[in-house]
Structure 1
Amino acid sequence: MLINNDLEIGYLVVVFALLGVILFGALLTALHLDGWHPKLIGAAIGALLGLALIEAVPILT
């Protein structure tokens, strides 16, 4: 996967943030960990995971 411009990077970060909202937010809600807003934490984790994957994939290939 070649990422050549900022639009693609932004798109991937948004996609991973939304996945984080859905997956991690649902997990935190199911575990009743409502100290902070679960969807906010999920979005942060998803965005960080997306950035990490964007940086790691070119190194591995």
Structure 2
Amino acid sequence: MLINNEFEIGYLVVVFALLGVIVIGALLTALHLDRWHPKLVSAVIGALLGLALIEAVPILT
């Protein structure tokens, strides 16, 4: 998969942030880790994971 456009990078970051909100937010809520807002923390983790994957996939292929 080649990412040649700024729009594609932004789209992937948004998608991973939303996935982070859903998956990691549900996990943090289920574990009752409410020190920080679970959806905010999971969105940040999802966005960072998305950026890491965008940078790592071209290196592996």
Q: Tell me which interval the TM-score lies in, with the shorter structure as reference length.
A: over 0.9
What is the match of residue 54 of structure 1? Answer: 54
TM normalised by structure 1 equals 0.99
- Residue 28 of structure 1 corresponds to 28
Partner of 2:24: helix, strand, or coil?
helix
TM-score, structure 2 normalization: 0.99
Alignment partner, residue 12 of structure 1:
12
Unaligned runs of 5+ in 1: none
State the one-letter code of the partner of 2:14. Answer: V
Poorly superposed stretches of 4+, deviation over 3 Å: none
Aligned residues: 61
- List runs of 5+ in structure 2 lacking aligned partners: none
Partner of 1:3: 3
Cα RMSD of the aligned pairs, angstroms, is 0.3
Q: Could you say which residue in structure 1 is the equivalent of 2:44?
A: 44
Aligned residues with identical type, % of pairs = 87
